[in-house]
Amino acid sequence: MLRKAAVAGRFYPAGKEEITRFISNAVDKGVTPYEAVGAVLPHAGYMFSGEVAVATASRIKLTPTVVVIGPNHTGIGRPFAIMTQGSWQTPLGEVPVDSGLAKHILNLSRYLEEDSVAHQHEHSIEVQLPILQYFKPDIKFVPISLAGAGLTAYNEIGWAIAKAVRSSQEPVVIIASSDMTHYEPHDAAKKKDLSVVDAILEMDEVEMLKAVREHNVSMCGSGPVACLIRSARELGAGEAELVQYRTSGDAIGDYSSVVGYAGIIIRSKDFHPLVRLAKNAVETFVRERRIIKPPEEASAEMKERAGVFVSLHKGRELRGCIGTFSPAQMSVAEEVIINAVHAATEDPRFSPVSSHELSDISYSVDVLSEPEPVDDESMLDPVKYGVIVESGHNRGLLLPDLEGVDTVQKQIEICRMKAGISPDEPVKLYRFKVRRYR
């Protein structure tokens, strides 16, 4: 079905040229878009909140599909409504619904229901689409409309969105559409709103909803924002940033009764380049059976030679660990790539990592210093140093600072066991440090 534009000419211009001109003038041209897990964007008329929405969206590297969660202002339709097919019309063209992702989210949630009626006249999602189309004309989306509810429902829907996004073949940005305080004096509105913004920046949906309740904040999209926060945490988001806060008073000069607008971006954890390289190596090999090449513009750290261990974890459990005591490749980058693939596919303790596990795998990379011989155990420290135990051609290695390994004797015992060296067999000891990246 085609959902026709309901608020073009009211909340935003009805003509393509006028929309394009407005957005182009509001774009923050001094920033480079970066990857984001999600964002909070306001949804009032463009003359009031458009600058905040565009300035925020211009910082986001948009993905092929976005999930847009908005409040239901009309009271029409199902309280938790998702559309899984069709397209939405705007003056910039049609925006198709990503049916595959939408159906996956619907199947995972006990609360969401298929319903186009709830979306028919609602503006909170529609006003975002021309902005998204401006930055990515071929974008697809999943529309989700929420009526007022409690934390249990928001958390469950947020979890379902995150689980579906995590299993998607491509990254997905999640957008919560919300305005802040409605129709209060500027100073009072700003004070209230920033108490809510602080909780969002802490990515704490419980405190955010508490601030809304305790300060009586007439924030229409608190539910969508709560869902976004829960989804973002599930997806491993690391930090949130307030891009801009304004009120309608800043736009029209009347500060006696305003509506507040916040633009917020939630980012992923900033992976170290070596961790990102290990992740890319594993995911490419598991999905395509192809070994990636080192980056063309490698850092000095990637170009040096050293032994490297790559460890994979699934939750708190080890899922694979393979490494080299000393350099076997021409660079650390190559060591990371080869050892990451081997850790995922050739660790004899585990079955090979499958494609459906990739979203649950975390990575750490240890770059080893040159091992140095030690005269006795007093020169070892299980937190500071890794240890190598050697007897003839047999060598066992254990990395430092491992959970449950808090004594030198335990380190050596594990190394002997790994190398097949008996407890009473004479050994040579070596220690090394690591640079650990997670």
pLDDT(438) > 80: no
Q: Both 423 and 387 in a single domain? A: yes
DSSP string, 295-354: PTT--HHHHS---EEEEEEETTEEEEEEE-SS--SSSHHHHHHHHHHHHHHT-TTSPPPP
The alpha-helical segments, DSSP class H, found in 205-272 are 205-214, 222-234, 248-252
What CATH number is attached to the domain comprising 350?
A: 3.30.700.20
Residue-wise pLDDT for 68-126, tens only, equals 999 999 999 999 999 999 999 999 999 999 999 999 999 999 999 999 999 999 999 99
* Structural domain count of the chain: 3
pLDDT at residue 259, as a whole number:
97
Q: What is the pLDDT of residues 354-398, one digit of tens each?
A: 998 887 888 889 999 999 999 999 999 998 899 999 999 999 999
Question: Is residue 260 over pLDDT 80?
Answer: yes
Does residue 363 share a domain with residue 374? Answer: no
* Sign of the torsion angle spanned by Cα atoms 190, 191, 193, 199: positive
pLDDT single digits (tens) 296-342: 888 888 999 999 999 999 877 899 999 999 999 999 999 999 999 99
Give yes or no: residues 47 and 134 share one domain.
Answer: yes
pTM over 0.75: no
Give the pairing type, strands 386-391 and 258-268: unpaired
- Give the end of a domain, one of 268, 285, 317: 268
Work out the average pLDDT over 2-17. Answer: 96
- The answer to whether the beta carbons of residues 371 and 327 sit under 8 Å apart is no
Q: What is the CATH number of the domain that holds 386?
A: 3.30.1490.150
CATH number of the domain encompassing residue 172: 3.40.830.10
What digits encode the pLDDT tens for the residues 18-49? 999 999 999 977 677 888 999 999 999 999 99
Residues 52 and 66 in one domain: yes
248/182 Cα distance (integer angstroms): 10
**11 and 52: one domain?**
yes
> What integer pLDDT is reported at residue 210 of this predicted model?
95
Residues whose CB is less than 8 angstroms from the CB of residue 253 and which lie 6 or more positions away in sequence, other chains included = none
Q: What is the pLDDT of residue 298?
A: 82
Helix, strand or coil for residue 284? helix
Kindly state whether residues 275 and 264 are assigned to the same domain.
Answer: no
pLDDT > 90: what percent of the chain? 82
At 258, is the pLDDT very low, low, confident or very high (cuts 50, 70, 90)? very high
Q: Is the distance from CB of 208 to CB of 226 less than 8 angstroms?
A: yes
Structure tokens, 46: 């463009």
- Give the list of residues 6+ apart from residue 352 with CB closer than 8 angstroms, or none: 286, 344, 345, 346
Question: Do residue 122 and residue 252 come from a single domain?
Answer: yes
For residues 332 and 310, state if they share a domain.
Answer: yes
Distance CA 68, CA 145 (A): 8
Q: Which of 268, 297, 312 is the last residue of a domain?
A: 268
Domain boundary among 221, 245, 268: 268
Burial of 314 (0-12, 13-18, 19+ CB in 10 A): middle
**What tokens appear for 313 in the block?**
């974890």
Question: Domain check: are 252 and 330 in the same one?
Answer: no
198-236 pLDDT per residue, tens: 999 999 999 999 999 999 999 999 999 999 999 998 887
Q: In angstroms, rounded to a whole number, what is the distance separating the alpha carbons of residues 176 and 16?
A: 25
Same domain, 315 and 170: no
Mark whether 354 and 210 lie in a shared domain. no
State which residues form the domain around 323. Answer: 271-368
Same-domain pairing of 260 and 284: no
Q: What is the pLDDT of residue 270?
A: 65
